[in-house]
Structure 1
């Protein structure tokens, strides 16, 4: 049996005196899958994303990603793990407005110590693949929302991560741009990229993933396979 890319076992996470954000949650994701983590606000999906990304630690249980026990990592090791194995795409892009598109995209490679020439070649390749190479010298503020999200995806893919995490990736976009980004994620997955989308939007989950894991009150309530609706 192939080892899962993501393996979460009996994970719980609570904060202060409130109810646990996650309660004995378990799930696995195989390499090459496109999976949506679906749930309303307060369901625990953001906590789960943070645990997978090594931004938080569980109170109990284990989190293993690409062979790494993420729940055991210290702060410095977690930062190295994110640089080498995780690409993250956020709802509001998180681009640096005072850097050009190319400089935003190469930033993760610079942090990882990639040579300048290699980093710029990789960035140019990604921008061309994602159809935004004409904006290489532009600043993010001059781009549309959909174009900025494509820049964010290019940045996330810069270090060839094993896992692409997308947190409400269409939440700040209009319908047409959202469909464009959803199609992009589907195409990336078709090329072999493992994608996990965190969302409250059932339509998004169905449109760009083949499996939906539903969270309710911190528990996995359903795990459903489906074909993307395009």
Structure 2
């Protein structure tokens, strides 16, 4: 049987003296799935994403991604792991305004040791696929929000990672641009890309994922196939 791409077991995380951000969280995400993590602000969904990405460590439990115990990685090893195995898309794009679109997209590949020529060929392919090749020499500040998020998605795909993590990817976009990004994530998943989207936007979750996971007060309280109230998370 195929192993899960993401597996969290009995994961807890607390900060200072406040209530736990996560409590005994358990989650499996399988290769090729598109999963939305839903919950209000402060529910623990961003903590969950940061633990999967190796940006944070659990106080209890284990986090395994693509066969690697990311909770055991050093900070430097976690950064190397993210560079090749996880593509990240953020609400506010996190692009470097002093670099061109092409330079932003190629940066992860160059940091991973890819030859510059190969990186530029890959970037040109991605920008054409995502419909923004005409902006290759532009700087991000000249683009619309939707175009900048497409650049961020191209950057996330640069090293062909098995997993895309998107943190509120439409939160800074207008409705039309948000629907466009949702459609793009759905298309990527239809081609086999595993996608986990952290959002409070139920419409986005329904448009681009198969399964929703709900978090409340640090606990995973519900999981279901999108659009099917009675379905569970087991596989």
Q: Deviation at 1:203?
A: 1.4
Structure 1 stretches of 4+ with a deviation exceeding 2 A read: none
Name the residue aligned to 2:124. Answer: 124
Match status 1:28 vs 2:28: yes
What per-residue deviation string (whole Å, max 9, x for no partner) do you get for residues 40-66 of structure 1?
011100100000000000001000000
Name the residue aligned to 1:78. Answer: 78
* Structure 1: runs of 5+ lacking an equivalent: none
Q: Deviation at 1:92?
A: 0.5
2:188 and 2:91 mapped to 1: Cα distance? Answer: 18
Greater shift, 74-83 or 218-227, is seen at: 218-227
Match status 1:111 vs 2:98: no
The answer to whether the 8 Å contact 1:209/1:227 transfers is: no
1:40 and 1:141 mapped to 2: Cα distance? Answer: 30
What per-residue deviation string (whole Å, max 9, x for no partner) do you get for residues 18-46 of structure 1?
00000000010000000000000111001
What per-residue deviation string (whole Å, max 9, x for no partner) do you get for residues 125-145 of structure 1?
000110111110111111111
CA RMSD after TM alignment: 1.0
| Aligned residue-pair number | 228
1:25 and 1:193 mapped to 2: Cα distance? Answer: 24
Name the residue aligned to 1:148. Answer: 148
1:124 and 1:138 mapped to 2: Cα distance? Answer: 13
Q: Deviation at 1:122?
A: 0.4
Match status 1:69 vs 2:69: yes
Name the residue aligned to 1:200. Answer: 200
What per-residue deviation string (whole Å, max 9, x for no partner) do you get for residues 113-158 of structure 1?
1000000000000001101111101111111110000000000000
1:206 and 1:139 mapped to 2: Cα distance? Answer: 33
2:7 and 2:113 mapped to 1: Cα distance? Answer: 29
The answer to whether the 8 Å contact 1:102/1:123 transfers is: yes
2:186 and 2:77 mapped to 1: Cα distance? Answer: 31
Aligned pairs (5 A) from 1:83-102: 83-102=83-102
Aligned pairs (5 A) from 1:50-61: 50-61=50-61
* Structure 2: runs of 5+ lacking an equivalent: 229-235
Name the residue aligned to 1:178. Answer: 178
Q: Deviation at 1:200?
A: 1.1
What per-residue deviation string (whole Å, max 9, x for no partner) do you get for residues 176-209 of structure 1?
0000000000000000000000011111111111
TM-score, length-scaled by structure 1: 0.98
